[in-house]
Structure 1
Amino acid sequence: MFSRRHLLQSMSAGFGYLAFAGMCNERAAAEAASTNPLAPKTPHFPARAKRVIFLCMQGGPSHVDTFDYKPQLAKDHGKSGKYGGSLLKSPWEFRQRGDSGLWISDIFPNVAKHADDMTLIRSMQCDQPVHPGAMTQMHTGTAQFIRPSLGAWTLYGLGTENESLPGFVSLNPPSGSSRNYGSSFLPAIYSGSKVGRSSRFGRGNSGESVPDIRNPNLSEKQQRKQLDLIQRLNEEKLKREKYQPGIEGMIESYELAFRMQDAMPSLMDTSEETQSTLDLYGINNATTESFGKQCLLARRFVEAGVRFVEVTHGNWDQHVNLSVDHKARAEACDQPIAGLLQDLKQRDMLKDTLVIWGGEFGRTPAAQGGDGRNHNNKGYTTWMAGGGVKGGFSYGATDEHGYEAIENKCHIHDWHATILHLLGLDHEQLTYRYAGRDFRLTDVHGNVATDILA
């Protein structure tokens, strides 16, 4: 039995802890507000990559039809699968590519030409076999909680190199939750700026959407005065209510938007690009034009100093009709991705630009619906190029049919730890104090896949 005195003593200790945690949060917020939160920051150690382009393949592309060669699957075509259904061989041939001899499917003939620049991670794993959860975990490290995205952590850790542009841009962001490019408890200024889908946009000469932040009825000087008044009101509210992340984020976002109104339209205007560059990305081809424009914009963004750019392509969710629809998805992005890699290389940017390709999971070796495949989160493939990774290298492996990873397993936490490491960030040191606890992208997990480092 507890006495009343003992109970009050115990409760008061808890109240004290809550008060102390609140004071720590306020102090951290005040320190963050005293400096430019987007200013370039020194990494934990020398970085191999300065920036990231993440090519997000929404829907789960099939690893056994793209980058994970399984000759035994072809031999066992039609036999009973490990978990039911009949094994389905790939409709596409695999061939050894480049000097390295990496096995890559004919579904990506142009990307395959860059085999010697790529590391194939063929042992990926995540915890979720359903699209929303797996997509969220791929971006934030968890499917259960609201956490900052990979791009937000990158911007928080490194800052940006262009004060007039967002440090994190999501082109045609993944459908579903904004958590995939959000900052959660990190200051709102680290959220991704979405370009595409349901945002309010104007049109650039490139045909892509641009933020509509100009007021045609006001001069730039008048807009500045208007913004100054709004900012003073926001700052007064912040003083009264102290720690308010939403208000802090609004203040920073308004300032960034004002600077963007001159920088963004010119950056989105691709009219001065050479015809050879447009052809390189497949922009004058109806099949490849849309994704080609996005890949070209990604290059322009990182060239201008944007730290993290995500470009989304899909839908790769073929439970039926895989031979037709997977081919169509690949044809739409094969030339643009190859063009991006070649363009970066020609500009001497690939060496310090980390290009990542992957979906939220892979697909089963067994057939579904006759000519389709189900979800597979136990073993699938992503790849990286440039940015300090080995070229022409294969890391990890799945079993002989491609059901699950069996060698050098790379969980999504390991994947995140490796990406941060390439950027010069220690995933265990990149933390943010929130609610009395130091949080990180990889939670309490993650190991860097050192074998892929150049």
Structure 2
Amino acid sequence: MNTVHPIRERELLMTRRQLFGKSALGLGTAAMAGLIQTELGAAAEPLRGLPHHTAKAKRVIYLFMSGGPSHIDLWDYKPKLGDLYGKQLPDEVRDGQRVTGMTANQKSGFPLAPSRYKFTKQDNQADGLWCSELLPHTATVAKELCVVHSTFTEAINHDPAITYIQSGSQTPGRPSLGAWLSYGLGSANENLPHYVVMHARTRFPEQSLFNRLWGPGFLSSDHQGILMRSQGDPVLFLSKPDGVSSADRRAQLDALASINQQQAQEFGDPEILSRIRQHEMAFRMQTSVPELVDFSDETKDTLELYGDDVNTPGTFAACCLTARRLAERNVRNIQIFHRGWDAHGNLAGEHSSQCKDIDQATAALIKDLKQRGMLEETLIVWGGEFGRTPYCQGNLTRENYGRDHHPRCFTTWMAGGGVKPGITYGKTDDYGYNIADADGQPLSPRPAKDQWTPGTMHIHDLNAT
């Protein structure tokens, strides 16, 4: 069916809506009435497939490590790799997996690179959790974590992989996970957005992050994530223009809303109503946002918990404290992106810096929420778009190496929100290359997104959780 832009319809003096509205006979009125009655009858059927337990999470804080952190150097302890330094990854382990062009033809082949970092086993109320020395603070909250070693995806390059995990599709244009949560749950605070996004500063901001990653797709635009900036105004165009009082601004918005309401009635475009709601939200945020980002009411103990970086706007620590303050104010969906995990070379230098950014603040966020009685109602999710290979990309030494992208298995974790704490789920083989069974043997056939296999977690299942 051909469509006409609303402005062009206006130029033609009469829109389709106006034509039908002014006609004495509506097309298909009798048939439509019958269809409506049928749909009403269908809606009366009892709902099936409801959760078998009462949901506890009221809000989500997603800590997204953009670039793909190395599970082998952070969470998935592989001591046997130490004896295989420099040896080739066996063909039967790779089993024909597609690799990126960056390592497919490297002259060194696929030399194995054991982690240079020490791991210690932390008490986690179950069999213990191995944690890298890069994450000493996060290790102290092991009892709160549900660590999934068997997350997997199909995408092997950054943008498709991030788009996939953020929207459920590698093709851009679908609503983001946060937009769906906004659409399904609505808002619990009329003075702040449903969905807030922050970009934490990093020394290695390689990957671009496009606003479609927190976009509404085909949903109305008021489900778009609101990006809070680290410099200047926290939200663009939020401050009142010089010389304009709050009363003047209120009068302007009322006049604009009246015009928009007339346009909405005439054209029936839902985006006009979304625009009205966005203007009203922006007006209320002129008061709520400055108070939100002002940490002067935080105690000294709280600020010390998050670390020295917390007083520097835009740091991961400042973003985590802001996330807790948003959660206190009943914002349902909060996401922090931290770029720079794409360690194709110099993993030792880059990952150590990245972990210093996030480690203390991540643990502080969990502890802070717990001591305030909020952790059980707040789901924290940590992870990236894929893991990294056990073999080296580029030059290999005992002290430094690079790792390529690895979608076949990687580690994510969750805390709070009704998730069972202190456990690990799934495991990988001795190489950290394939998802394995309880005996450590690679699963055969390999896990697939369309057929759930016990002990595995496709990113669709992660998002559904």
Matched, 1:155 2:163: no
**Structure-2 change in CA distance of 1:271 and 1:211 (3 Å):** farther
**Structure-2 change in CA distance of 1:210 and 1:47 (3 Å):** farther
Matched, 1:110 2:137: yes
**Bigger mean CA offset, 364-373 vs 279-288:** 279-288
Q: Secondary structure at the match of 2:368?
A: helix
Partner of 1:67: 75
Work out whether residues 172 and 212 of structure 2, in 8 Å CA contact, stay in contact via their aligned partners in 1. Answer: no
Q: AA paired with 1:110? A: H
**Bigger mean CA offset, 184-193 vs 133-142:** 184-193
**Bigger mean CA offset, 229-238 vs 338-347:** 229-238
Q: AA paired with 1:193? A: I
* Structure 2 CA distance for aligned equivalents of residues 181 and 230 of structure 1: 27
Work out whether residues 134 and 361 of structure 1, in 8 Å CA contact, stay in contact via their aligned partners in 2. Answer: yes
* Structure 2 CA distance for aligned equivalents of residues 131 and 245 of structure 1: 34
* Structure 1 CA distance for aligned equivalents of residues 156 and 56 of structure 2: 33
**Bigger mean CA offset, 229-238 vs 117-126:** 229-238
Offset at 1:324? Answer: 1.1
* Structure 1 CA distance for aligned equivalents of residues 124 and 164 of structure 2: 35
Matched, 1:295 2:303: no
**Structure-2 change in CA distance of 1:314 and 1:365 (3 Å):** same
Offset at 1:366? Answer: 0.2
Matched, 1:140 2:140: no
Q: AA paired with 1:103? A: W
Partner of 2:211: 178
* Structure 2 CA distance for aligned equivalents of residues 308 and 72 of structure 1: 40
| Aligned partner (choices 128, 148, 151) of residue 155 of structure 2 | 128
* Structure 2 unaligned spans of 5+: 1-26, 37-50, 95-108, 201-206, 396-400, 438-454
> 1:21-32 to 2 correspondence within 5 Å?
none
* Structure 2 CA distance for aligned equivalents of residues 255 and 398 of structure 1: 50
**Pairwise CA RMSD:** 2.6
Matched, 1:80 2:88: yes
Partner of 2:460: 413
Work out whether residues 197 and 226 of structure 2, in 8 Å CA contact, stay in contact via their aligned partners in 1. Answer: yes
Q: What TM-score, normalized by structure 2, do the two folds share?
A: 0.76
Q: Secondary structure at the match of 1:110?
A: helix
* Structure 2 CA distance for aligned equivalents of residues 317 and 256 of structure 1: 37
Larger Rg: 2
> 1:183-202 to 2 correspondence within 5 Å?
183-196=216-229, 202=232
**Bigger mean CA offset, 357-366 vs 389-398:** 389-398
Cα shift readout 1:258-315 (whole Å, capped 9, x = no counterpart): 1111111111111221122111111358999811111000000011110010011121
Cα shift readout 1:138-188 (whole Å, capped 9, x = no counterpart): 110001141111111111111121100001100118833212101111121
Cα shift readout 1:238-259 (whole Å, capped 9, x = no counterpart): 22222x3432321110011111
Partner of 1:377: 407
Partner of 1:219: 245
**Structure-2 change in CA distance of 1:338 and 1:215 (3 Å):** same
Partner of 2:343: 318
Q: AA paired with 1:325? A: E
Partner of 2:55: 47
* Structure 2 CA distance for aligned equivalents of residues 139 and 365 of structure 1: 25
Partner of 2:286: 261
Work out whether residues 229 and 314 of structure 2, in 8 Å CA contact, stay in contact via their aligned partners in 1. Answer: no
> 1:320-335 to 2 correspondence within 5 Å?
320-335=345-360
| Aligned partner (choices 173, 193, 212) of residue 166 of structure 1 | 193
Cα shift readout 1:395-452 (whole Å, capped 9, x = no counterpart): 111222111223422111111111xxxxxxxxxxxxxxxxxxxxxxxxxxxxxxxxxx
Work out whether residues 52 and 308 of structure 1, in 8 Å CA contact, stay in contact via their aligned partners in 2. Answer: yes
Work out whether residues 283 and 289 of structure 1, in 8 Å CA contact, stay in contact via their aligned partners in 2. Answer: no
Q: Secondary structure at the match of 2:421?
A: coil
**Structure-2 change in CA distance of 1:278 and 1:286 (3 Å):** closer
* Structure 1 CA distance for aligned equivalents of residues 247 and 348 of structure 2: 57
Partner of 1:231: 257
Q: Secondary structure at the match of 1:318?
A: coil
**Structure-2 change in CA distance of 1:321 and 1:397 (3 Å):** same
Q: Secondary structure at the match of 1:217?
A: coil
Aligned length: 375
Q: Secondary structure at the match of 2:243?
A: coil
* Structure 2 CA distance for aligned equivalents of residues 154 and 118 of structure 1: 23
> 1:351-370 to 2 correspondence within 5 Å?
351-370=376-395
| Aligned partner (choices 392, 406, 431) of residue 401 of structure 1 | 431
Q: AA paired with 1:405? A: I
* Structure 1 unaligned spans of 5+: 1-18, 29-42, 419-454
Partner of 1:241: 267
**Bigger mean CA offset, 221-230 vs 44-53:** 44-53
Work out whether residues 380 and 404 of structure 1, in 8 Å CA contact, stay in contact via their aligned partners in 2. Answer: no
Offset at 1:209? Answer: 6.2
Work out whether residues 56 and 313 of structure 1, in 8 Å CA contact, stay in contact via their aligned partners in 2. Answer: yes
Q: Secondary structure at the match of 1:134?
A: helix
Offset at 1:365? Answer: 0.3
Taking only the aligned residue pairs, the percentage that are identical comes to 42
**Structure-2 change in CA distance of 1:81 and 1:411 (3 Å):** same
Offset at 1:331? Answer: 0.8
Q: AA paired with 1:263? A: S
Offset at 1:111? Answer: 0.3
Offset at 1:346? Answer: 0.9
Q: Secondary structure at the match of 2:382?
A: strand
Partner of 1:431: none
**Structure-2 change in CA distance of 1:247 and 1:288 (3 Å):** closer
**Structure-2 change in CA distance of 1:51 and 1:81 (3 Å):** same
* Structure 2 CA distance for aligned equivalents of residues 325 and 286 of structure 1: 23
* Structure 2 CA distance for aligned equivalents of residues 416 and 285 of structure 1: 29
